[in-house]
Amino acid sequence: MQTYNAPLRDMRFVLHELHGLEKINAYPKYADFTPDVVDSVLEEASKIATEVLLPTNAVGDQEGCVLENGVVRTPTGFKAAYDLFREGGWSSIAADPEWGGQGMPESVNKMVEEMISAANVAFGLYPGLTGGAIRALKDHGSQELKQRYLPKMVDGTWTGAMCLTEAHCGTDLGLLRTKATPNGDGSYRIDGAKIFISAGEHDLTENIVHLVLAKLPDGPKGVKGISLFLAPKFIPNEDGSLGQRNGVVCTGIEHKMGLKGSATCQLTFEDARGWLVGEPNKGMAAMFTMMNVERLAVGVQGLGINEAAYQSAVAYAKDRLQGRSLAGAKRPDLPADPIIVHPDVRRMLMTMRVYAEGCRAVGGWVAQAMDVAEASEDPIEKQTADDFVALMTPVVKALFTDMGSEASNLAIQIYGGHGYIREHGVEQYVRDARIAQLYEGTNGIQAMDLVGRKVGAHMGRYLRGFFHPIAEFIAANKDDAAVGKMVGKLEQAFGALQLTTGDLVQRSMKDPEEAGAAAVDYLRMLGLVAMGYMFVKSAKIAAEKAPTANGDAGFYEAKQASARFFVDRVLPQATGLFLTLKSGKAAMMAMPEDAF
């Protein structure tokens, strides 16, 4: 049985105690989002997640989407759930108030996204992709396009989709063939075919706004010749009502391993009308505005599934009776002890738990920087925040989704054979989580982005916002009575990361293959250190508050226990990766191609 209740207490801890939402409240843009307001939003979001979305999750997996005469029918309950979601204003909470949004800080929005992903990640893709499309159109679209499309996208009446991939090219978008020919009236004729288009066709809304990458007739070859276009399913009339059907047709939907409630479409654009978004031949820059939003959102999908899998596994481990504790019977009144008494089950549950808590804390750190970048008028502060978000975007996307997949598999292991069958629902988490490691750029590509573009950029400027606060925290807390020992272990892992970074930069300058060979392990190493910093910082806060916490003492004690487990059992992986990365590419590249 899929089990999920939003971890509101931990979310409040991350927002208010660990990162200090009052820092964001200090900006006029976010002054209205006081702790009381934020907590109320989280409470209401938890209700729609557990009461509306969670009941449709297994149904969506069992029924999937169906294509009928070019129209995709979503699973039973999705349309009603979407209507409640939209009517409740959830599609607009983080959008710009200029276009009808509520302007919620991203720090809060990411917590809401986590709840949606935990309850029904397939459903979450429909409004989630719209959020990225809104951002791209807001930042790059003409005033006319924004006025025509943004209000209805923000209120959820229309949704958005991102149309990049073609059958013959995935990541290498320079090979795409979709063409855009000027019509002479400011619009363009779009012709081509796209695949793997999430939410490209569905029955939840009356219109779908496609952002399409295509090439102009006179555009340069490769990625430098790509432009971005807006091509709606229905072309709006001047009064905003729906006009003629555009030449965008869904010719098929993918039959997938998981995420079956999300329509993944094959789309054909034939004599479709589109409008340029941004400058000609600058489409990749505009599209990356949307893609980076989605990469962070995909990371949160991994976190949400992790949390749901963890809670389901805990419920099962407390209920399933098998064997006796190695230390003697814990429940002599029962024929056997619950499996939660067994050390190996504890190992798996604690791993899942710290993955979720650690990713939530790191995600909150990044989201707060997004808010600073959005709201600050200080150019240095804004630049520092932007740099940090740029550095951490591939880490959030890759690390969170890797851990979400690992946690889902651990859930099956805890359930044993019962986890392998559909009845209990945890095998769905494994299948749903797997795609998050692939779309919006595979995790290997994220790692190459980190190592190849971010680490050495601007003489290491991106790394300063990461390295400096960790170094300062370690220096200030080495002798702390409560967390000093954990600080020492964090210092060891952090030192290994610093040494690895310097060595990797030097080797990569001489041989680019060294960067490729190291990228995935380096991303994991950096992510583990980020989580370690968050855990030790959390443990310090918890140790200070626990003695006078009264009803919250149990929460703070558990927070310290999570930190100890992470520092003792997970963080040492970073030191091991130091040795792995020190070995370089030699063993990886030595095998002749013919020998494979």
What is the SS3 assignment for 350?
Answer: helix
Q: State residue 363's pLDDT score.
A: 98
* C-beta separation of 496 from 580 below 8 A: no
Q: Report CA Rg, the chain.
A: 24
Q: Give me the sign of the Cα torsion angle 449, 452, 458, 460.
A: positive
Tell me the mean pLDDT in the region 59-86. Answer: 96
pLDDT value for 222: 84
Q: At residue 42, does pLDDT exceed 80? A: yes
In 69-144, the DSSP E strands lie at 71-73
Q: Which residues contact residue 389 at a Cβ distance below 8 angstroms, ignoring those fewer than 6 apart? A: 366, 369, 370, 373
Query: Is residue 171 pLDDT above 80, yes or no?
Result: no
Percent of the chain with pLDDT over 90: 93
User: Nearest to residue 459, comparing CAs of 509, 497, 493, 496?
Assistant: 509
Q: What tokens appear for 2 in the block?
A: 């899929």
Three-class secondary structure assignment of 542-585: HHHHHHHCHHHHHHHHHHHHHHHHHHHHHCHHHHHHHHHHHCCC
| Cα gap 291→287, rounded to integer Å | 6
Q: Is 227 exposed, middle or buried (0-12, 13-18, 19+ CB in 10 A)?
A: buried
Task: Give phi and psi for 582, each to the nearest 5.
Answer: -65, -25
- List CB contacts of 314: < 8 A, sequence separation 6 or more: 3, 340, 349
Tell me the per-residue pLDDT of 4-20, one tens digit each, with 9 for 90 and over: 999 999 999 999 999 99
Residue 375's pLDDT is what? 96
Of the ranges 347-356, 393-402, 404-413, 457-466, which one carries the lowest mean pLDDT score?
457-466
pLDDT interval class at 550 (50, 70, 90)? confident
Contact yes or no for 16/37 (Cβ under 8 A): no
Tokens matching residue 537: 């910082």
Q: What integer pLDDT is reported at residue 288 of this predicted model?
A: 83
* Rounded average pLDDT over 166-185: 85
CA-CA distance, 353 to 359, in Å (whole number)? 10
Instruction: Locate 107 and state its tokens.
Output: 């720090």
Query: What number of other Cβ atoms are within 10 A of residue 589's Cβ?
Result: 12
Place of tokens 């990049």: 164
pLDDT digit string, tens, across residues 401-445: 999 999 999 999 999 999 999 999 999 999 999 999 999 999 999
Determine the average pLDDT of the residues in 454-470.
93
At residue 170, the pLDDT reads 63
Q: What is the pLDDT of residue 285?
A: 86
How does the average pLDDT of the chain come out, rounded?
96
pLDDT at res. 112: 98
List active site positions.
440
pLDDT digits (tens, 9 = 90+) for 338-353: 999 999 999 999 999 9
> How many angstroms separate the CA atoms of 136 and 139, rounded?
5
Q: Which residues contact 565 (CB under 8 A, 6 or more apart)?
A: 350, 353, 354
User: pLDDT value at position 287?
Assistant: 82
Q: Reply yes or no on whether the pLDDT at 458 is more than 90.
A: no
pLDDT(185) > 70: yes
Closest CA to 264 of 161, 396, 118: 161
Query: Is residue 501 a contact partner of residue 455, using CB atoms and an 8 Å limit?
Result: yes
What distances in angstroms separate CA 562 from CA 12, 91, 349, 350, 548, one per listed residue? 17, 34, 11, 7, 20
Show Cβ contacts of residue 404 under 8 Å, excluding neighbours closer than 6 positions. Answer: 301, 302, 303, 304, 305, 306, 309, 355, 433, 436
pLDDT in tens, 125-160: 999 999 999 999 999 999 999 999 999 999 999 999
pLDDT at 517 over 90: yes
* Token pair listed for 482: 């409560």
Question: Cα 569 to the chain's mean position, in Å?
Answer: 25
Q: Which residues pair with 231 in a beta bridge?
A: 210
Residue type, 192: G
Residue 29 has pLDDT above 70, yes or no: yes
User: Which segments within 44-140 are labelled E, that is strand?
Assistant: 66-68, 71-73
Instruction: Answer yes or no: are the C-beta atoms of 296 and 359 closer than 8 Å.
Output: no
Does 307 score more than 80 pLDDT? yes
pTM: 0.96
Q: What is the pLDDT of residues 245-297, one digit of tens each?
A: 999 999 999 999 999 999 999 999 999 999 999 999 999 888 888 888 899 99
Give the strand pairing for 158-163 and 207-215: parallel
